Chains A and B, each alone.
Chain A
């Protein structure tokens, strides 16, 4: 597996209606994400780490600046192309898992295969293998009966169905207790070790401790490494 390298330059993202009311949320002169690394965006609440993650995933469009993955500029793409890029290159893990309770765990993993644009051959066995790998019994019919840790592992399996080179995770352990969080942390480390680029927004010390790189943010700006270490 070859993870994608990320390049960010001159990134500015602001919100608000008029020029006077606009508030800059992200102001990032440069950031490189190395392929196959687990990079954690950290910082206190409101620091902009989740917003940066959404920008990196192409879910938000910056006011200006450039984001590129594997040399392909995300910022030049229209919405439909960004959807397609995400579908083909990235997996996404959420804090609250966002599984569809009315579907079985297996169908939750298979769901991204229903979006179209992929060959669905062998997907069912791959989905079953992923669930098995992450210790979720595939015979379970009701997602709502899974523990929170199991639900997050189903979400990770869903993110990996098409073997993406890039995985985004938004506060993946924030809704889990210590043991379940630890298991998810180790899983993220594992999938990075397989060569994928993993970018997570988190302030979980356990995840920070196993990250290849930590990017600290404060009010949408990078905190220099020396300050970050002091903090």
Chain B
């Protein structure tokens, strides 16, 4: 039995309708694939982004807000840890390092983040170019930053405007000379210091890739809070003898036991401590539920599309009932007619599904790129088991539903259709 030439002939007979049906199915499938692949890309991208932030300590409050501020540099207002608590955490021990994180400024729209050179090195796994900062007025830029090593950046509190540099240079000189506080002309209480870009980080897949990373001492100094060190001290980095409060501290515990120990130690009335993964797991649980609901709805929509198309196909096949009756009159077994119709309908569904799969992947890839551009979180849309299962489920349901027109055509009285 070889029904394929007649399947092809039937497809050719209504080629425009066939193309329309395949297109509609492909679009429905692509939508489902795009949602599923995008959700996973978002999950994997956000998890990868948080990977180097081992343990975060912050003031009591929303861990989600702290996570989004520290890892994704989302400009959310978070409470500061008290200076006492900050000092306790920074000097708490059992860690390879404890890096204060300060933010709130930006340069040409890109975030300016203050932290320690150790954390930059840890986050970036070594630099792509240049060296780590060693002075208050030096900066390292993220891999995607438009700024280059050697550039001088005039950073202003909360603004992206450039600065003439005269005041900033004076402030830097003052710091070098051991003076703690320089008043700015435009914004009382804030000091402006030009920073020189001395290094570029490797890609981290986080919004830090676009950031200008400065010593945390710069943040404190620029906001009129001293340098975090004793008066007259010009070095940067730990230990911080006079650290003011900070929004968060990222700790790299020395081992697993220390990680849990420090987390428990800093879960107090004055601070909270958490592993980013545990917060992400909760977020993913909600996202997962939503994704499951959306996947279910998408599959239901796809089945409805297939069912609607089957109704169209039934009408189309009814117009061709004489053709199938002729086959029977010529001696074709019912199974042959059944196979022709089933394969015809199946080809439309399979064609739509197989075109929809790469189409959905393409849409997800574009959306991922847009989201990555918007958030800075690197994400790659990939076709995984979930998407293949979605297409597989649609194919199973489609081929099952295709039995309906096949059975109806096969059962049609031959002579009635011949006349």
A83–B1 CA distance with the chains assembled, in angstroms? 14
Encode B320-342 as 1/0 by CB contact (under 8 A) with A.
00110011111111101000000
| CB–CB B13/A102 < 8 A | yes
Contact of B1 among A51, A98, A114, A159 (CB under 8 A): A114
Decide yes or no whether B44 CB sits under 8 A from chain A.
Answer: no
Contact of A57 among B13, B329, B333, B336 (CB under 8 A): B329
Q: A54-B415, A83-B331, A87-B332 are in contact. Are A114 and B13 (CB under 8 A)?
A: no
| CB–CB B9/A102 < 8 A | yes
A102–B7 CA distance with the chains assembled, in angstroms? 11
- Name which of A57, A84, A98 has the most chain B CB atoms within 10 A of its CB: A98
Encode A44-80 as 1/0 by CB contact (under 8 A) with B.
0000001100100101100000000000000000011
Q: A60-B415, A100-B9, A114-B1 are in contact. Are A86 and B331 (CB under 8 A)?
A: yes
Docked complex: B303-334 residues within 8 A CB-CB of A:
322-323, 326-334
| CB–CB A111/B330 < 8 A | yes
- Name the CB-closest residue of B to A98: B326
Q: A94-B326, A98-B323 are in contact. Are A115 and B5 (CB under 8 A)?
A: no
Decide yes or no whether A116 CB sits under 8 A from chain B.
Answer: yes
Decide yes or no whether B238 CB sits under 8 A from chain A.
Answer: no
Contact of B13 among A54, A91, A92, A101 (CB under 8 A): A101
Encode B368-403 as 1/0 by CB contact (under 8 A) with A.
000000000000000000000000000000000000
Decide yes or no whether A107 CB sits under 8 A from chain B.
Answer: yes
Chain A residues near B415 (CB, 8 Å)? 51, 54, 59-60
Contact of B333 among A50, A90, A100, A116 (CB under 8 A): A116
| CB–CB A158/B330 < 8 A | yes
A98–B331 CA distance with the chains assembled, in angstroms? 14
Chain B residues near A91 (CB, 8 Å)? 330
- DSSP class of A's interface residues: helix, strand, loop or mixed? helix
Q: A54-B415, A59-B414, A60-B415 are in contact. Are A103 and B5 (CB under 8 A)?
A: yes
| CB–CB B13/A90 < 8 A | no
Chain B residues near A116 (CB, 8 Å)? 1-2, 333, 336
B338 to chain A, nearest CB (A): 12
| CB–CB A92/B323 < 8 A | no
| CB–CB B326/A102 < 8 A | no
B144 to chain A, nearest CB (A): 55
A43–B3 CA distance with the chains assembled, in angstroms? 38
| CB–CB B331/A115 < 8 A | yes
Chain A residues near B419 (CB, 8 Å)? 50
B321 to chain A, nearest CB (A): 12
Chain B residues near A90 (CB, 8 Å)? 331
| CB–CB B334/A114 < 8 A | no
A110 to chain B, nearest CB (A): 8
Decide yes or no whether A112 CB sits under 8 A from chain B.
Answer: yes
Q: A60-B415, A102-B9 are in contact. Are A115 and B336 (CB under 8 A)?
A: yes
| CB–CB B6/A83 < 8 A | no
B181 to chain A, nearest CB (A): 88
Chain A residues near B333 (CB, 8 Å)? 80, 83-84, 87, 115-117
| CB–CB A100/B2 < 8 A | no
A51–B416 CA distance with the chains assembled, in angstroms? 11
| CB–CB B331/A94 < 8 A | no
Decide yes or no whether B12 CB sits under 8 A from chain A.
Answer: yes
Decide yes or no whether B418 CB sits under 8 A from chain A.
Answer: yes
A80–B333 CA distance with the chains assembled, in angstroms? 7
A12 to chain B, nearest CB (A): 17
A173–B71 CA distance with the chains assembled, in angstroms? 84
Chain A residues near B418 (CB, 8 Å)? 54, 59, 94
Q: A59-B415, A94-B418 are in contact. Are A115 and B1 (CB under 8 A)?
A: yes
A102–B8 CA distance with the chains assembled, in angstroms? 9
Chain B residues near A88 (CB, 8 Å)? 331
- Name the CB-closest residue of B to A120: B2
Contact of B330 among A54, A112, A117 (CB under 8 A): A112
A63–B5 CA distance with the chains assembled, in angstroms? 37
A63 to chain B, nearest CB (A): 15
| CB–CB A100/B6 < 8 A | yes
Contact of B334 among A60, A83, A86, A98 (CB under 8 A): A83
Q: A100-B6, A102-B13, A115-B1 are in contact. Are A80 and B334 (CB under 8 A)?
A: yes
A59 to chain B, nearest CB (A): 5
A1–B176 CA distance with the chains assembled, in angstroms? 116
Chain B residues near A112 (CB, 8 Å)? 330-332
Q: A102-B9, A114-B6 are in contact. Are A92 and B329 (CB under 8 A)?
A: yes
Chain B residues near A102 (CB, 8 Å)? 8-10, 12-13
A75–B318 CA distance with the chains assembled, in angstroms? 29
Q: A94-B418, A100-B9 are in contact. Are A84 and B326 (CB under 8 A)?
A: no
B55 to chain A, nearest CB (A): 69
Chain A residues near B10 (CB, 8 Å)? 102
- Name the CB-closest residue of B to A110: B5
A115–B331 CA distance with the chains assembled, in angstroms? 8
Chain A residues near B332 (CB, 8 Å)? 83, 87, 112, 115
A88–B332 CA distance with the chains assembled, in angstroms? 11
| CB–CB B328/A98 < 8 A | no
| CB–CB A83/B9 < 8 A | no
Shortest beta-carbon contacts, A-B, top 7: A87-B331, A116-B1, A102-B9, A86-B331, A98-B326, A114-B2, A102-B12
Q: A114-B1, A114-B336 are in contact. List 8 more A-B contacts (CB 8 A).
A: A57-B329, A59-B414, A59-B418, A87-B333, A102-B10, A115-B327, A116-B1, A117-B333
13 residue pairs bridging A and B, Cβ less than 8 Å apart:
A54-B418, A57-B329, A79-B334, A83-B332, A83-B333, A86-B331, A87-B330, A87-B331, A88-B331, A111-B330, A115-B333, A117-B333, A159-B330
What is the interface of chain B, defined by CB distance below 8 A to chain A?
A: 1-3, 5-6, 8-10, 12-13, 322-323, 326-334, 336, 414-415, 418-419
